Amino acid sequence: MNRLLVLIALTGLIGCGQEPSIGNDVATDAAPARTFTWRMATTWPKNFPGLGVAPEVFAERVGRMSNGRLQIKVYGAGELVPPLEVFEAVSQGTAQMGHGAAYYWKGKVPIAQFFTAVPFGLTAQEMNGWLLHGGGMALWRELYARHNLVPIAGGNTGVQMAGWFNKPINSLADLKGMKMRIPGLGGEVFERAGGTAVNIPGGEIYTSLQTGVIDAAEWVGPYNDLAFGLHQVAKYYYYPGWQEPGPTLEVIVNQDAWNELPADLREIVEVASLAMNTDMLAEYTARNNAALTELVEVHGADVRRLPDDVIAELKRISLQATDELVDESDPLQKRIYDSYVTFRDNVIAYHEISERAYINTRDPARAAPK
């Protein structure tokens, strides 16, 4: 009976000049999906290993995932705007998107440094935990909304090196009067320790060391330091990277441009950013090992550990500088600080019996530089 009724209905439709519909029709007169072409300004040299390549891969991935509906052209440092002006350029809409690190904008938004790196603070794994599951991302977005921006975690290089120096560091006195390229809170701590912090883009480090404009510099780690050839202009390579234990990089999007995107394209941008966040940390974990071996065995880099008393004093100064960074008159800054410190203290307690406890079971002699 059911089959008979269907046949009768189909016959009626055909008799009225209508085609039967089977499955999901695609309207031939539907308006084509809107496409977007964006510019992405970065703080990194064009196609620089890791940092500079990641935004290019991100843009390609967004293009594929969106089926061409969102095309992003990536500009290296200085191609569209100066590298340390990316924040302002995206905020004002000169570029719809940027890629950099929040501590570069400390002159404009000092508290934003919590979302890149705090000396003796969270590692890369811990930063991801705080941002993605500990309330950090909501605070970050609330802060950047004041500047017409939407932030997304967009990379991490892991624990960095303490930097390259043109003389050995045997005591805190050796830092007195030293000029060092070191951004963010690390630079503030270095100055309180008696040095002079210089904030210059990565592309200027080699020449500045070579000409004596600076006496020392921290950049990233073996993978990127080798690419810049920093071993050619400084001999002593110090660890650990107390100043940047887990530096998170950021994708920032102009709020007005973000609001114009349909929901699916916004989701694609977020997913592609988080993919870049994961992939970059994996790349640096894989590349730093071979790069350090080359720096030591081929180029003769003198890898040294900072003296314990120097580390202890830098830590004391760091805790003080971090506390003083917060403007108590701004409730949002207080909430950012409280959230970060609470998460830090809790995760340290757990990692004492997990990450650190496990790592300490390994033979340290096998991991030490040769």
Q: Is the pLDDT of residue 298 over 50?
A: yes
In a domain, 220, yes or no: no
User: What total of structural domains would you count in the chain?
Assistant: 1
CATH of the domain at 268: 3.40.190.170
In a domain, 165, yes or no: no
* b/e per residue 108-122 (b: at least 16 CB within 10 A): ebbbbbbbbbbbbbb
Which token pair is 13? Answer: 């439709």
Cα–Cα distance between 235 and 217 in angstroms, integer?
11
Largest Cα–Cα distance in the chain?
Answer: 97
105-137 pLDDT, tens digit per residue, is 999 999 999 999 999 999 999 999 999 999 999
Which token pair is 33? Answer: 């999906």
CB atoms under 10 Å from CB of 93, counted, come to 13
Element (H, E) at 323: helix 308-325
The terminus-to-terminus CA distance of the chain in angstroms comes to 85
Give the model's pLDDT for residue 30. Answer: 57
250-268 pLDDT, tens digit per residue, is 999 999 999 999 999 999 9
In a domain, 209, yes or no: no
Give the model's pLDDT for residue 9. Answer: 43
Cα–Cα distance between 94 and 358 in angstroms, integer?
48
300-337 pLDDT, tens digit per residue, is 999 999 999 999 999 999 999 999 999 989 999 999 99
CA separation (Å) from 104 to 6, 47, 110, 168?
69, 20, 9, 28
In a domain, 20, yes or no: no
> Phi and psi at residue 42, in whole multiples of 5°?
-125, 165
**Which string of DSSP letters, residue by residue, matches 38-83?**
EEEEESS-TT-TTTTHHHHHHHHHHHHHTTTSEEEEEE-TTTSS-G
Q: What is the mean pLDDT of the chain?
A: 92
Residue 360's pLDDT band (boundaries 50, 70, 90)? very high
Give the model's pLDDT for residue 210. Answer: 97
Residue 367's pLDDT band (boundaries 50, 70, 90)? low
223-236 pLDDT, tens digit per residue, is 999 999 999 999 99
Residues in the chain: 370
Give the model's pLDDT for residue 366. Answer: 57
Q: Is the pLDDT of residue 8 over 90?
A: no
Q: Where are the beta strands (DSSP E) in the chain?
A: 36-42, 70-75, 97-100, 149-156, 163-165, 179-181, 196-198, 216-217, 236-239, 248-254, 302-305
Nearest CA to 239 out of 225, 221, 224, 227 is that of 221
Q: Is the pLDDT of residue 24 over 60?
A: no
Give the model's pLDDT for residue 33. Answer: 87
Nearest CA to 107 out of 325, 329, 337 is that of 325
DSSP 17: T
Nearest CA to 151 out of 233, 38, 249 is that of 249
203-222 pLDDT, tens digit per residue, is 999 999 999 999 999 999 99
Cα–Cα distance between 44 and 219 in angstroms, integer?
12
In a domain, 275, yes or no: yes
Q: Is the pLDDT of residue 18 over 50?
A: no
Residue 365's pLDDT band (boundaries 50, 70, 90)? low
Give the model's pLDDT for residue 61. Answer: 98
**Percent of residues in the chain assigned helix, strand, coil, to nearest 5:** 50, 15, 35
Quote the pTM value: 0.88
Cα–Cα distance between 90 and 88 in angstroms, integer?
6
In a domain, 274, yes or no: yes
In a domain, 116, yes or no: yes
Q: Where are the beta strands (DSSP E) in 279-369?
A: 302-305
In a domain, 25, yes or no: no
Give the model's pLDDT for residue 306. Answer: 98
Residue 98's pLDDT band (boundaries 50, 70, 90)? very high
Considering only 27-36, 41-50, 358-367, which range has the smallest mean pLDDT?
27-36
Where in the sequence is the domain holding 46, given as residue range(s)? 36-159+246-285
Q: Is the pLDDT of residue 4 over 70?
A: no
Tell me what the mean pLDDT of segment 165-192 comes to.
97
Residue 363's pLDDT band (boundaries 50, 70, 90)? confident
Burial (0-12, 13-18, 19+ Cβ within 10 Å), 57: middle
Tell me what the mean pLDDT of segment 22-48 comes to.
76
Considering only 8-12, 119-123, 277-281, which range has the smallest mean pLDDT?
8-12
